[in-house]
Amino acid sequence: MLPFRSRKRKKAPEPGLTQPLAAEVNQTNQENSPLSRSLAENLTTFQTMFANCTDFAYRELKIGQEQIPVLLLFVNGITDEQTINEDVLKSLVNIRCSTLEASGSNNLDMVKNVFMEIGNIAEMTTTGEASDAILTGSVALLVEGTARALKIRTKGIQGRAISETVTEGVVRGPREGFNESLRTNTALVRRRIKTPNLKMEKFVLGRVTKTEVNIAYLEGTANPKVVAEVKKRISLIDVDSILESAYIEEMIEDEPFTVFPQIDHSERPDKIAAGILQGQVAIFTDGTPFVLIVPTMMFQFLQSSEDYYDRSIYATAVRVVRFFFLNLALLLPALYIAVTTFHRELLPTSLLISITAARAGAPFPTIIEVLFMEITFEALREAGIRLPKPVGQAVSIVGGLVIGQAAVQANMVSPTTVIIVALTGISSFGIPSYSFALAIRILRFAMIVLAATLGLFGMLLGLLVMQAHLVSLRSFGVPYFAPIAPFNLKDMKDSVMRLPWWAMGERPRLIAKNNNNNRQRQKFFLKPAPPDENR
Amino acid sequence: MRKLALIMVCISLLLTGCWDYHEVDHLAPVIAMGLDRIPESKIIHLTVQIASPEGKGGNKQTGEQAGGGGGVYTVMNSEGKSLSEAIRNLNTQSTRVVLLSHCKLVVLGKGLAETGIGEIIDDIKRARESRRTNWIITTDKTAKEILEKDIVLEQVPARGLDFILQNFNQKGRVLAMNFNDFFARLNGDSHVSFTPLAQLEDIDKEVTNKLEKAVSRPLDSQEKPKTLTIGKTAIFNNLRMVGVLNEDDTRAHKWLVESPKGSSITFAYAPQAQSNGDKGEIMLDITEGKTIITPQISEDRITMNIAVTIKSALHETGTSGVKVRDPKEIEQLQRQAAETVKLQLEHTINTAQKELKSDYVGFAEDLHNYYPVEWKQIRDNWVNIFPTVDCQISCDVEILSTGMISNPTLGSESEE
């Protein structure tokens, strides 16, 4: 029997989207029922719908000379109380001397068109629509004798103010970061790109959470195929909840089984705006400051937004350092194991002697030492992130002093190993993208095992497999390893190097593909020069 | 089934490849090898110097060793019918795996060098661990004595030897030879090669004795062990050591084979040498130098034209009478220096032709290169022809700089 014969796997029967999800069942029958003409009937409908919801509130009042009863429905807390009191209620109460029909169906239109002092108003006809509106922070206004309702936007949820980003700090550059409110986030981008070509399309995902998701792109710059693909993939998502953009990320990425992230995310409006301007598509999710941006190439994970604000020579130098530390973070412990246990002749003699001296009396093999220290380090890092801040400091002291110093003094671990692990830890912090650093962290352990079993040969095999995997990845059709494979000289201007802004004449080719006539982003020959005195 | 196979492959990865896995603290890194042979005996005596940093109570924290003087090495001895057998025999006494890939140099004992090194060469060249850049030196004692000698300022003496030989490449009077150069010369047209010669000398005692004689009382200094010096050259002709060049010949030998650069010339200043008690030795530092040997075959004789050009800096005058600012004086110094060099070179070549009858300058290569056709005819008879080769030496010395001062400060004239 051939062990590796590939067989057609039995496909599980598709669940079929015709069956309603569990969360859906008791809602479907209500959602499409139209509103009733009778106000009392509507009130009962909504009262049963929102039974046991203390934050649900309604207000009945009679308006105009005819004393027509109207009903306001809203949810406390997500609506702005001031708007309801001062604008909605006041404008309703102020209807005094006008003539409303006793049972006329155009009373609603009168209210909407003549009296309401609110900009954002829409009409609804079903209970489902009305309950959606109520739950997203609008006030539903129902009038006796009309089978329609008004959706008056009074959204006023208490959110975090725009504050400095936590995960992507810069020395020079804008400080503001996204917050949890989708509208604020899109506004931060709109503020930077003032053109009607910046399109924002709305999706509502999650049958229960009804999370609003917006995709933003620059029409005429973004690749229409990528935009269409993003829309298609997002519209295929049919889940009950979306609480963070990672939910979307995992459902729209190209290759689900890989350690490498294929979609970048950021909480910096300037980074997202820069991405949109070079033809990428941003995906905003309500409730999280992290905005996804597609398509992403590997190099973007090694670039920070500050690269574009520092002088280009320095930015290039920093990127080179990052590449160096990326390699250290991936390979250093493995290299240490391979060289000291298999390839002693590669070490300089004096280094061999000092490593030998340092390892004298160490009870465990190098591989165990390194794994032990690496795992300890990972635990320390994890503890440092999760624990409350005051405790976190204690952890770092205990971790640094007790594990580092005492382990060496007790002769449990050789000091060289501590140096190697510490250097690796620092190197992994040199990668700007946290999610990419996670991939490197995982792969480092694979490399350690390979190095401990097969030496440099094993490391080489591991790198080979990793490289083959990297070049096989795609992010929304764009090769992940571009612009190195496939090689593109013009796109190299912003990969390892960062050319000055006057030399960034064209957008990246692979992202803005199929837009050949619109690749140029600025005038050429913008290089500054002192004035010519002969002229 | 497929999953099972995959798991088995993964597990097998953990089992394979470990056959040459060794922790560094389970290794005995050999830093130098010494080879001796008792004449009329087949047996090779092997002495290895092994770095053992944790052996002598070092400070483990930093990997640094305490107590500067005490070396951190051990010496092991073994015997065998051949070199490789002797190396294998080391394992019978070593608790650790003998690691040869860090070996820096091989020391040939006098007995072995004189009886012939043919049989050990094969193993040295064939072994995977030996490096073509390893140094090779000879000693006039046994290699065991050399390798058991502490070298001051160094914890592992063999590394000290390594540093000495490395320094020779930049500034030294002796040509340091690595395996590659040594074998290339041995396999070359003349079949003559050479190595530096390590000696144990009682420099300290000599100095003490002389000083004691001068002050006529015993000096209040401690007796020190002998010092290891490398200042002479051992000449190998056809795998056998045939003789030793003294210090002066060694220096001239380097001028001929490589270049005079980095060396120095010392000669007596003639006009005023003994006038006012100054010794009058003038020393020139050779900053740049070139030696070009051009062979010429005429009808009845072979002539080697040796042209030496030297650019030098005045390093020391040793006398007050030298008027450095006078161009004529400088010219005279240049002439004198050239004459000194020429005399020395003539002496060295004479030693090669008459005394050792070994072409250690490499005239054979030059002839082969310039006269390939004629060389084929004289090749077999070269041993007899070599002593008859005529040498025309021309030397040109230029003094480009006089250091930080011009005229000697001790002189009667002021410096203007």
On the question of pLDDT at A304 being above 70, the answer is: yes
Residues A442-472 as b/e (b if ≥16 CB within 10 A, e otherwise) read: ebbbbbbbbbbbbbbebbeebbeebeeebbe
Rounded to an integer, the average pLDDT of A393-400 is: 78
Q: Could you tell me which chain A residue has the CA closest to the CA of B154?
A: A350
Rounded to an integer, the average pLDDT of A421-428 is: 92
Residue A436: the pLDDT is 94
Residue A179: the pLDDT is 92
CB contact under 8 A, B60 and A453: no
Alpha-carbon span B295 to B367, nearest angstrom: 6
Option in B5, B53, B104 nearest A353 (CB)? B53
Residue B36: the pLDDT is 93
**Mutating which of A6, A346, A352 best tests the B interface, going by the most B Cβ atoms within 10 A?**
A352
Residue B68: the pLDDT is 41
pLDDT tens, position by position, A144-196: 888 888 888 888 777 888 999 888 888 999 999 999 999 999 999 999 999 99
Residue A533: the pLDDT is 77
Residue B31: the pLDDT is 92
Option in A341, A342, A358 nearest B60 (CB)? A358
CB contact under 8 A, A359 and B2: no
On the question of pLDDT at B258 being above 50, the answer is: yes
Residue A358: the pLDDT is 85
CA distance A455 to chain B (A): 8
Option in B18, B53, B104 nearest A453 (CB)? B18
Judge whether A419 is closer than 8 Å to chain B, CB to CB: no
On the question of pLDDT at A200 being above 90, the answer is: yes
On the question of pLDDT at B303 being above 80, the answer is: yes
Alpha-carbon span B86 to B34, nearest angstrom: 11
pLDDT tens, position by position, A360-372: 878 888 999 999 9
144-203 in chain B: CB under 8 A from chain A: 156, 159
CB contact under 8 A, B4 and A1: no
Q: Could you tell me which chain A residue has the CA closest to the CA of B103?
A: A349
Option in A5, A354, A366 nearest B63 (CB)? A354
- What A114-118 contacts at long range (C-beta under 8 Å, 24+ apart), as own/partner pairs, is A115/A91, A116/A88, A116/A91, A116/A150, A116/A152, A117/A87, A117/A90, A117/A91, A118/A83, A118/A87, A118/A88, A118/A91, A118/A152, A118/A153, A118/A154
Rounded to an integer, the average pLDDT of A318-341 is: 94
On the question of pLDDT at A433 being above 60, the answer is: yes
Judge whether A364 is closer than 8 Å to chain B, CB to CB: no
On the question of pLDDT at B75 being above 60, the answer is: yes
On the question of pLDDT at A26 being above 70, the answer is: no
Residue B225: the pLDDT is 83
Q: Could you tell me which chain B residue has the CA closest to the CA of A1?
A: B1
**Mutating which of A5, A354, A356, A366 best tests the B interface, going by the most B Cβ atoms within 10 A?**
A356
Q: Which residues of A29-179 form beta strands (DSSP E)?
A: 56-63, 68-75, 121-124, 138-143, 149-153
pLDDT tens, position by position, A69-87: 888 899 988 888 888 888 8
Rounded to an integer, the average pLDDT of B218-240 is: 87
Cross-strand bridge partners of residue B199: B229
Residue A299: the pLDDT is 92
**Mutating which of B11, B24, B98 best tests the A interface, going by the most A Cβ atoms within 10 A?**
B24
On the question of pLDDT at B38 being above 60, the answer is: yes
CB contact under 8 A, A349 and B101: no
CB contact under 8 A, A453 and B65: no
Contact present, B331 and B341 (Cβ < 8 Å):
no
Residue B367: the pLDDT is 92
Residue B171: the pLDDT is 80
Selection from A203-217, A521-535, B123-137, B210-224 with the highest mean pLDDT: A203-217
Q: Using a pLDDT cut of 70, give the percent of chain B over it.
A: 89
Option in B25, B72, B99 nearest A359 (CB)? B25
Residue B315: the pLDDT is 85
Judge whether A354 is closer than 8 Å to chain B, CB to CB: yes
On the question of pLDDT at A2 being above 50, the answer is: no
DSSP B314: E
On the question of pLDDT at B13 being above 60, the answer is: yes
Find, among B166, B131, B172, the residue nearest to B33 by Cα. Answer: B131
Q: Could you tell me which chain A residue has the CA closest to the CA of B14?
A: A453
Option in A4, A352, A457 nearest B5 (CB)? A4
On the question of pLDDT at A115 being above 80, the answer is: no
On the question of pLDDT at B55 being above 70, the answer is: no
CA distance B350 to chain A (A): 42
Q: Tell me phi and psi for residue A108, to 5 degrees.
A: -60, -45
Rg of chain A over all Cα atoms, to the nearest angstrom: 30
Quote the ipTM score: 0.81
Q: Assign B5 a pLDDT band (cuts: 50, 70, 90).
A: confident
Judge whether A4 is closer than 8 Å to chain B, CB to CB: yes
CA B323 to chain centre: 37
Q: For tokens 């405790």, name the residue.
A: A391
Residue B152: the pLDDT is 82
Weakest-pLDDT range from A84-98, A232-246, A313-327:
A84-98
Higher pLDDT, B317 or A227: A227
CB contact under 8 A, A356 and B65: no
Residue A92: the pLDDT is 83
On the question of pLDDT at A437 being above 70, the answer is: yes
Alpha-carbon span B360 to B191, nearest angstrom: 9
Judge whether B31 is closer than 8 Å to chain A, CB to CB: yes
Rounded to an integer, the average pLDDT of B359-365 is: 90
CB contact under 8 A, A344 and B31: no
Q: Assign B64 a pLDDT band (cuts: 50, 70, 90).
A: very low
Judge whether B100 is closer than 8 Å to chain A, CB to CB: no
Q: Return the SS3 of A513.
A: coil
CB contact under 8 A, B54 and A350: no
Rounded to an integer, the average pLDDT of A506-512 is: 80
Weakest-pLDDT range from A153-167, B105-119, B137-151, B303-317:
A153-167
Residue B58: the pLDDT is 42
Judge whether B2 is closer than 8 Å to chain A, CB to CB: yes
- H helices of A172-311, where? 182-190, 224-235, 245-252, 269-277
Residue B139 has a CB neighbour count (10 Å cut-off) of 27
On the question of pLDDT at B343 being above 60, the answer is: yes
Type of residue at B77 = N
Supply the mean pLDDT for chain A.
Answer: 86
Cross-strand bridge partners of residue B302: B297
Supply the mean pLDDT for chain B.
Answer: 84
Residue A8: the pLDDT is 52
CB contact under 8 A, B24 and A340: yes
CA distance A11 to chain B (A): 17
Size of interface A-B (CB pairs under 8 A): 105
Rounded to an integer, the average pLDDT of A403-432 is: 88
Cross-strand bridge partners of residue A215: A201, A283
Judge whether A368 is closer than 8 Å to chain B, CB to CB: no
CA distance A326 to chain B (A): 26
CB contact under 8 A, B63 and A357: yes
Q: Which two tokens stand for residue A443?
A: 């792969």
CA distance B356 to chain A (A): 39
Contact present, A172 and A69 (Cβ < 8 Å):
no
Q: Which two tokens stand for residue A299?
A: 């190099």
CA distance B131 to chain A (A): 10
Q: Assign B57 a pLDDT band (cuts: 50, 70, 90).
A: very low
Q: Which two tokens stand for residue A203?
A: 């999706």
pTM summary value: 0.84
